[in-house]
Structure 1
Amino acid sequence: MTFKRSHSATYLAGLLARNLARALQERARALGFAPGQFPVLLELWSEEGLTQKQLVDRLDVEQATLANTLSRMERDGLVERRPHPSDRRAQLIYLTERARAMEDQAKQAAEEADAAELAGLRRFERELMIEYMRQAIERAPQK
Structure 2
Amino acid sequence: MHSAGFLANLMARKFAARLQHEVRDLGLAPAQFMVLAEMAERDGLTQRQLVERLEVEQATMANTLARMERDGLIRRAISDADRRAKCIFVTDKGRSRLEIAFQRAQKVNAIATSDLTSQETEMFVNLMNKVIETLKRH
> Normalising by the residue count of structure 2, what TM-score does the alignment of the two structures yield?
0.90
Runs of 4+ with >6 A deviation: none
Q: Structure 1 residue 86: deviation in Å?
A: 4.4
Structure 1: tracts of 5 or more residues without a match? 1-5
* Bigger radius of gyration: 1
Q: Greater shift after overlay, 71-80 or 30-39? A: 30-39
The answer for the alignment partner of 2:23 in structure 1 is: 28
Q: Greater shift after overlay, 61-70 or 103-112? A: 103-112
Q: Is contact 1:23-1:116 (8 Å) kept?
A: no
Q: Cα deviations across residues 84-135 of structure 1 (Å, max 9, x unaligned)?
A: 2343321110111111123332211111111222333233222211110011
What letter is aligned with 1:23? Answer: R
The answer for the alignment partner of 2:72 in structure 1 is: 77
Residues 43-62 of structure 1: pairs in structure 2 closer than 5 A = 43-62=38-57
CA distance in 2 between partners of 1:142 and 1:42 (Å): 25
3-state SS of paired residue (1:7): coil
The answer for the alignment partner of 2:82 in structure 1 is: 87
Q: Is contact 1:81-1:92 (8 Å) kept?
A: yes
Structure 2: tracts of 5 or more residues without a match? none
What letter is aligned with 1:113? Answer: V
Q: Is contact 1:28-1:106 (8 Å) kept?
A: yes
Residue of 112, 118, 126 corresponding to 1:123: 118
Q: How many residues end up aligned between the 2 structures?
A: 138
> Normalising by the residue count of structure 1, what TM-score does the alignment of the two structures yield?
0.87
CA RMSD of aligned residues (A): 1.6
Q: Structure 1 residue 26: deviation in Å?
A: 1.2
The answer for the alignment partner of 2:32 in structure 1 is: 37
The answer for the alignment partner of 2:129 in structure 1 is: 134
Overall identity of the aligned pairs, in % = 46
Q: Is contact 2:33-2:98 (8 Å) kept?
A: no
Q: Is contact 2:75-2:88 (8 Å) kept?
A: yes
